[in-house]
Structure 1
Amino acid sequence: MTWGIKMVCLLALAVFASAEDGAVKLELTPEQADGFLSVEQRRLLGDWLAHPDQAWPGDDSWPALTNADDVARARAELWSMLREFRRKDPTAEELGPLPPTLAEVVAQAKDGKGGLEPGVLSLGEHRMPFVVLRKETEPVPEQGRALYFCMHGGGQNNKAEGPHSWAVNSREWQSQAGLAAQVYEGEGLFFIPRMADDRLGRWWHAHVQDAIDMVVEHGIREWNVDPNRVYLMGVSEGCYGTQILGPFMADRFGGANAMAGGVGKDVPAENLRNLAFRTDVGENDTTFNRVGLAKEFHQRMDEFKKLYGGYEHEVNVQVGKGHGIDYRPGSEWMIAHRREARPDTVVWTSRNLGGNRRSAFYWLGLSDAGIEGRIPMAARLNKDANRVDLKWPAAETEADLDEVAVRVLLDDQMLDLGKPVKIAVNGEPAFSGIPERKLETLARTLVERGDPTMAFPVEIVVEPSSPEQ
């Protein structure tokens, strides 16, 4: 494969460390495994994991989830099975075990014993080159290490001779590796992808979304990544990618830093209610109105903050700077934040992006991700009333309401599932009762996002009720 400009310096030869010090925390203890699922049930689940779109194999003989402890035991066992199953996927080999630290790579390069070379991630018809830099000088936190997605500048060249032939993108990729190694603050794993196809360009394509999901799941499973400390950042074209993918899949990240760019009003800034988001842009970066659009993007967040609270954000207009800016301060601001996996309020405008629609967003989901048109909604947990209040503005919903249903995902951290739970849609009752914790729901939501912290035992499906006009 032709890489364009060859990665140099630290990115010379492949040497990877053992996977042992990348073990994830959610291992199955003997107490959890003892008698919870039978050998036959584990076999049936193993078959189901190979085809999770098929019918659930469970029946009345399967263990009931009667309380939070049962859910914790089931989640741990299901995660252990999913981990083993996903290790057979070709993606696991492509992403590999925990790489050596940057200091070890430098030492190996000096001794002539090797360094680190790009890997390649298969994404359907596309191939995405990448490097992973591991910056660690301190002990890894008990919850796991941070993971950063660093997207380079450049963009699209529809006249490029091949997917990785444009020197601009190759050069920008190298530059991003240098920034990750020497400029960006924070410790952990810096995943630095190269655009999969110069002729397509852009970071919002469906194959990039797939790559992020794959790397996050692999990171949790094999690299001891803390799922609440996954970060998104990018420069120039990567800035646009951060500003577009951030709102689209905000529940994946603990913070985001967009540098040297600004996006238009078609990007749903309202989705950033629970994602700490910062933009750094030069005051003289007026090409494509970058600085003006960046300001407008953050002004929209201020407007939504008045309605829903939240929206930790900052726009830093760097005085005297143009398209070239100081990239250091944004990363320092970003890493001070963590993801809240179960926020009390979720604001979500669901949309199609690059032919893909997210099936779930924090603790909300859609019954059919193939629905066309934007679907705006906002939901709030009322713990005192043991209720979920869902706002569904029909006048702003582009999809056919007869085809739309929302999945409300719950667990014992959110509401008291031992008492009647109520759900109201636009103030009208939509559900009332004691919900059933289900092993199937826990398994399906675990497979859906590959993140054990986002697996829920309860799913309640509600439809529009007296929608607001």
Structure 2
Amino acid sequence: MIKTLRLIKTAALVATLSLSGFIASAQTNLSRREASAIAANELKTQMAVQKPKAEAEWAAKQIQYKNFTMKFTTQIFGDKPADGRSLYISLHGGGGAAPKVNDQQWENQKKLYKLKEGVYFVPRAPVDAWNMWHDYPMDELLAEVIKDEIVLDDVNPNKIYVMGYSAGGDGVFQLAPRLADYWAAAAMMAGHPGDAQILNLKNIPFDAFVGGKDAAYHRNELVAQWGNRLDSLQKVYPGDFIHETHVYPDMPHWMNRKDTIAVAWLASFKRNPIPKDVIWIQDDILRDQFYWLGTDVATAKQGQKVRVSISGNKINIIDNQEEMLYIYLNDDMLNLNKKVIVTINGKKVFKQKVSRNADIIKQSVAARLDKGLIFSGKLVVKNGAVTSI
């Protein structure tokens, strides 16, 4: 009897292990159709999770992140297109001044631009400082804004634009490159570039405006120089670094609304969420993901550069200064039913199939609610070796 019971328990254990192995296999060896179904279901689930939070934030007209509060107003223009609304995030001027100064600039920004279509979102900076639009925690606050608007107003993640005047222009100079994977295009008005990472703009159009007499902080000279740099980069990378630079010779800091032409220019572009050639330089505010590239923030450092390109089913790591580099993949980027080849500086280091993984799908959905940036496969690059998750 005891022997029989042992046999039964052993059989049950084997069956359990086999079932758990089957479940694990089913979650990590998905077909393209299975991966797509999981992504659609997870997106629906996570949007339902986000909705009550979004509704509460929109009712309060403010977003809280830790001990920071960002107030905002919104205005909707035009009918909603079939592919979803546009979102324009418009940053006011001011800076390191008394709160009433920044409040006045916020009021001015609300009336500064009119849209043909879209949500015009005007936040009030959570702090009164010169770097109020590009210091911590603006990345987190804007990410929350975008998730809320995807849920509440059916904003299309491929039609999100950032723009700003004066100190808001300073913010655009920093946020456009740092968060380039969020934007369809960016427009900078009367700002200062500081130490912004221009190479990160490879895949987003950038429009710059400045008065020729706006000599404070050398804005007029520096914006013109920025435009010249983009001219040069566009020659090196044909088809990328799309831009326009407007220097109005007789205009001071206030350009008398000449910059309003930016709205139509912005609207003419849509984001490509998975460009085939990405340059990523870490800013002083570190990020763990940029388009389909990622890293461990614990080991990342400001100024580290990565450049990776994809051609067919081949991934070429041209430059990588990150200690740990992640490459996220999906079937829109390459064919995951076939082997993926990875080269580092032209040397082949990987040639295998990359499994579609349900956990990676769910993680990418939860991070952004962005259907253009849902990934099912992941490669890890460390010490010159590549492994598949």
| Equivalent position of 1:11 in the other structure | none
The aligned runs of 1:190-269 (5 Å cut-off) are: 190-198=120-128, 202-264=132-194, 266-269=195-198
2:277 alignment counterpart: 345
Q: Larger % of strand: which?
A: 2
Aligned residue for 2:263? 331
**Among residues 382, 395, 398, which one is paired with 2:311 in the alignment?**
382
TM alignment of 1:23-422, pairs within 5 A? 59-60=23-24, 62-63=26-27, 66-89=30-53, 91-96=54-59, 119-136=61-78, 139-157=79-97, 160=98, 166-180=99-113, 184-198=114-128, 202-264=132-194, 266-309=195-238, 310-325=240-255, 326-353=258-285, 357-368=286-297, 370-383=299-312, 386-392=313-319, 397=321, 404-422=323-341
Structure 2 CA distance, aligned partners of 1:81 and 1:242? 33
8 Å CA contact 1:364, 1:406 repeated in 2? yes
The answer to whether the 8 Å contact 1:262/1:292 transfers is no
Q: Residues 417 and 61 of structure 1: is their aligned pair in 2 closer, same or farther, counting only changes over 3 Å?
A: closer
Q: Could you list the per-position Cα deviations for residues 160-181 of structure 1 after superposition, in whole angstroms to 9, with x for gaps in the alignment?
A: 4xxxxx221111101000113x
Cα displacement (A) at 1:426: 1.5
**Which has the larger Rg?**
2
In 2 relative to 1, CA 65–220 (structure 1 residues): closer, same or farther, beyond 3 Å? farther
**Counterpart Cα distance in 1 of 2:264 and 2:23:** 51
Rounded to whole Å, the distance in 2 between the matches of 1:132 and 1:460 is 40
Residue of structure 2 equivalent to 1:438: 357
Give the superposition deviation at 1:59. Answer: 4.5
CA gap of 1:289–1:168, structure 2 versus 1, over 3 A, is same
Gaps of 5+ in 2: 1-21
Structure 1 distance, partners of 2:180, 2:104, is: 29
* Structure 1 CA distance for aligned equivalents of residues 354 and 216 of structure 2: 54
Q: CA deviation at 1:72?
A: 1.7
Structure 2 counterpart of 1:323, one-letter code: H
Q: CA deviation at 1:61?
A: 6.7
C-alpha displacement of 1:330:
1.5
Per-residue CA shift, 1:316-347, capped at 9, x if unaligned? 11231110112311222111111001111111
Q: Report the residue type matching 2:314 in the other structure.
A: R
8 Å contact from structure 1 (residues 392, 464) kept in 2: no
Partner of 1:429: 348
Equivalents in 2 of 1:430, 1:95: separation in Å? Answer: 49
In the superposition, the TM-score normalised over structure 1's length comes to 0.73
> What is the deviation of 1:230?
0.3
Distance in 1 (alpha carbons) for counterparts of 2:354 and 2:236: 30
Percentage identity across paired residues of the two chains = 26
Number of aligned residues: 361
Structure 1 residue 367: deviation in Å? 3.3
Question: Cα offset for 1:315?
Answer: 0.5
For 1:147 and 1:176, the matched residues in 2 are separated by: 15
Letter matched to residue 420 of structure 1: K
Structure with the higher helix share, 1 or 2: 2
Deviations 1:385-423 (A, max 9, x none): x10111116xxx4xxx6xx11111111111111111011
Task: Supply the RMSD in Å over aligned alpha carbons.
Answer: 2.0
Give the match for residue 20 of structure 1: none
- What are the ranges of 5 or more consecutive residues in structure 1 without an aligned counterpart? 1-57, 97-117, 161-165
- Contact residue 184 and residue 272 of structure 2 kept, 8 A: yes
**TM-score, length-scaled by structure 2:** 0.87
Q: More deviation in 200-209 or 292-301?
A: 200-209
